[in-house]
Amino acid sequence: GAVVSQHPSWVICKSGTSVKIECRSLDFQATTMFWYRQFPKQSLMLMATSNEGSKATYEQGVEKDKFLINHASLTLSTLTVTSAHPEDSSFYICSARPSGGGYNEQFFGPGTRLTVL
Amino acid sequence: DAKTTQPNSMESNEEEPVHLPCNHSTISGTDYIHWYRQLPSQGPEYVIHGLTSNVNNRMASLAIAEDRKSSTLILHRATLRDAAVYYCILGSYIPTFGRGTSLIVHP
C-alpha cells in the first residue's frame, strides 16, 4: 500500500527556535498534501492544504507566517514552525492524496511529536 | 462539508463482533464513506471505504444503508489491538475529522 513518512518522529526544541517537519510520499506522487495538528485527547484539526507548486491554503485561525508550508515536489511537503512556543507543542500529522486518485483517498504519515520547552 | 455523528465510545469483549455506527444524513451523492482508525501516538490508519454497496476487506466490513444516511463498520472478531479511535469521514475534497468513537476492548 501507499506509504507516507514523516521526519522527525519526535522533536524537542527551545522556545523561540524554528522546527521543520518533513512529509514524504514514498511510493506515489501527491499533488495535494494536508497538515493536521492534534492536541491530547482531541481529534485531528486540519491546519492547511498544500498543493504542489502553489501556496498553501490555511484554515481559519492558523497563522500562515508562523506555520510555513512548502510543497516543492510531488513527493515532499514541509511544515516549519517558526519561533515555536510551548503552546505549539502538539502532534503534527500529514496526509497525502495520490495524484489522479479516484475517490479522494488519502494516506497518513505516522505523525511528529513536537515539544517546545 | 457534510458532517458525521458517531458515539463517543463503545466497549467490546475480545473475540466478539463490534458494530460501530456513523450517521451522515447530509451526505452528497458522490461522497465516499471512509473509515480510519488511530492508535495512540500514531497517525490514522485506513480501514475501509465505500460508496453504495457493502464492502469487505481483511480488516473489516462496511455496511451502508440504502439511503446512504448512515453506515456501520463491523469488526468481526475484536482483538486487543483493535482498541483505537475510529473515525468515519466523508470523501469531500477537504477531509475533516469529527471526534470519532473510542473503542475499548476487554480481554
C-alpha cell at A101: 486518485
C-alpha distance from A15 to closest chain B C-alpha (Å): 23
| Min Cα–Cα distance to chain B from A18, Å | 23
Counting residues of chain B whose pLDDT is more than 70, the rounded percentage is 96
List CB contacts (< 8 A) between B46 and chain A. 1, 105, 107-108
CA dist B62 and B74 (Å) reads: 6
Say whether B41 and A91 touch across the interface (CB within 8 A): yes
CB B33 within 8 A of CB B27: yes
pLDDT, chain A, mean? 93
Task: Examine the pLDDT at B1 and tell me if it is beyond 60.
Answer: no
pLDDT in tens, B62-74: 999 999 999 999 9
Residue B2 has pLDDT above 70, yes or no: no
Neighbours of A104 (CB within 10 A): 19
pLDDT in tens, A92-103: 999 998 887 655
pLDDT of residue B29: 84
Of the candidates B32, B46, B100, the beta carbon closest to that of A104 is on B32
Mark out chain B residues that contact chain A at CB-CB < 8 A: 32, 34, 36, 38, 41-46, 49, 51, 87, 91-100
Q: Is the pLDDT of residue A22 over 60?
A: yes
Q: How distant is the Cα of B73 from the closest Cα of chain A, in angstroms?
A: 18
Higher model confidence: residue A67 or residue A41? A67
- pLDDT tens digit sequence for B43-90: 999 899 999 999 999 999 999 999 999 999 999 999 999 999 999 998
